[in-house]
A = this chain, B = another copy of it.
Amino acid sequence: MTAVETARHRLAARFARIATIGEAQAMLDWDAAAVMPPGGAAARGEQLAVLAGLAHALLTAPETADDLAAAEAAPPAGAWERANLRRMRHVHTRASALPPDLVEARARANSACEKRWREARRSSDFALVRAPLAEVLRLTREAAAALAPALGRSPYDALMDGFQPGMSEAAVTPLFIAYESWLAGALPRAEAREARLPAASPPPGPFAEEAQEALCRGLAARVGLDFDHARLDRSAHPFCGGTPEDVRITTRYDEAEFLQAVMGVLHETGHALYERGLPAAWRRQPVGEAAGMAAHESQSLIVEMQACRSDAFLSWLGPELHRAFGGDPAPYAPANLARLTRRVRRGFIRVEADEMTYPAHVILRFRLERALVAGDLAVAELPAAWNDGFRALLGLEVPDDARGCLQDIHWYDGGFGYFPAYTLGAMAAAQLMAAARRAAPGLDGALAGGDFAPLTGWLGREIHARASLLDLDALLEAATGKPLDAADFTAHLTARYLA
């Protein structure tokens, strides 16, 4: 082997090792959320910290830097190989830009703040968490300042890049401005239209958890999840975790109402199919990973919002639901199901928001976190700024901080720069659905028969199999003919809520 070949081999082995440690962390995270007894939390924290330290040490070892430099001196010919090397450099740059003391201090501050936040949210008392959040923000800003020159980006862009590589404030801002002005006109019209429709009538419960679980499992399998490589469990906050060969999705059940669990499982199934569809040939290499959090969200939302709330699929789902729960068939009629699953409602809580107002929640957080990271907004001023912004965007008076700036865990756990991914994912999902319909004209007919193969086959080829070969805009361009824009999203909302 030449010296360059040796460097490439060593890098591949080292990054595979790092990824395998990441898999162990993912399984322990799942365990902590889904099955761990409460008394295991402290030991679990130690286990995760030690694994994180081992992975970080492998990544930042001098040999890694030497091998990266040697490999870059003679770039490989293949596009995948080149993209893999670029992704390795990107991961390495991010990891080496941060002094280990800062990484540790952030982990400690985030964890302390998150604990306090649970209390603060329960009692809707922002003062309780003000000091710990200020400390989290101080360290986040320090990290952003260290990352910015290494990445050649602004501090806030450096944070966003940690969740969606390459994403920038400059790319997001015009999309959000356009959406905000579209929403100002569209929302009152959607509300007026909804007021004219017959009221939705929810099927009368109760719906036994076991019956809901069996139904959810069957639906996930129908969308394409293979339970030889997956589990469905329960957790307080639904998520998709695990590894591509062993993907773990969770949900929660409410015996009074099953649509939240059903739609939640379909959402996580979208995430799970992405992981399952990543290319085996690039497993455990940086280029073999999903293309970022916005890309991931596009896959959950295209299943949940685009496909599963479509007229076509609801016409198949209604009789299935009635078969599962029995009773009067009327509430399971597709038209009623459509009214139940496609309501537009201004509300205070992001995770309960409909797909039209959801972006407003995200836009508010995007503005506030930019200002916090820039130093233009002090933590003490956050509640008032939140309430002002919320009034401006959705015209509602926030009644208390629990329903305002205390509702989401993200900032209190140090997650600045993540929020935009939700709405970028929603826009990408609409753009992908439009392209999928062009590529597979029978797609809606298939959904009306409960058949996801035309959609998931297309996504598998166009998105899943490409992993991180391309950045988000290039990935969308390859799949849909254009980089990310909001036109297909607003067209989708117009067709669904304003027609």
Q: Which residues of A contact B (CB under 8 A)?
A: 17, 20-21, 23-24, 27-28, 31, 35-40, 42-44, 46-47, 50-51, 54, 226-231, 242-246
Contact = CB atoms under 8 A, between A and B. Distances in A.
Contacts of A245: 39-40, 42-43
Contacts of A243: 40, 43
Nearest to A48: B24
Most buried by B among A24, A35, A42, A245: A24
A27 B54 contact: no
A43 B23 contact: yes
Contacts of A228: 37-39
* Closest A-B pairs by Cβ, 5 of them: A40-B246, A39-B229, A39-B228, A43-B245, A20-B50
A226 to B, nearest CB: 7
Nearest to A39: B229
Contacts of A21: 50-51, 54
A181 B243 CA distance: 55
A46 B28 contact: no
A50 B27 CA distance: 14
A243 B20 CA distance: 22
Contact of A54 (B35, B38, B54, B244): B54
B40 A20 contact: no
Contacts of A24: 24, 28, 47, 50-51
19 contacts: A17-B50, A20-B46, A20-B47, A23-B47, A24-B24, A24-B28, A24-B50, A24-B51, A27-B31, A27-B47, A31-B31, A35-B231, A36-B246, A37-B229, A37-B246, A39-B245, A39-B246, A42-B245, A43-B246
A36 B24 CA distance: 13
A226 B38 CA distance: 11
Contacts of A229: 37, 39-40
B20 A246 contact: no
A243 B32 CA distance: 13
A226 B39 contact: yes
Nearest to A35: B231
A104 to B, nearest CB: 14
A209 to B, nearest CB: 14
Nearest to A276: B39
A245 to B, nearest CB: 4
A28 B26 CA distance: 11
B37 A227 contact: yes
Contacts of A38: 228
A152 B308 CA distance: 69
Contacts of A23: 43, 46-47
Nearest to A49: B20
Nearest to A226: B39
A246 B44 contact: yes
A291 to B, nearest CB: 21
Most buried by B among A47, A231, A242: A47
A159 to B, nearest CB: 29
Contacts of A39: 226, 228-230, 245-246
A230 B37 contact: yes
A20 B51 CA distance: 9
A15 B242 CA distance: 28
Contacts of A231: 35, 37
Nearest to A243: B43
Contacts of A35: 35, 231
A396 B39 CA distance: 49
Nearest to A246: B40
A40 B243 CA distance: 8
A46 B19 CA distance: 11
Contacts of A44: 246
A454 to B, nearest CB: 25
A403 B21 CA distance: 40
A293 B414 CA distance: 44
A39 B47 CA distance: 25
A309 to B, nearest CB: 29
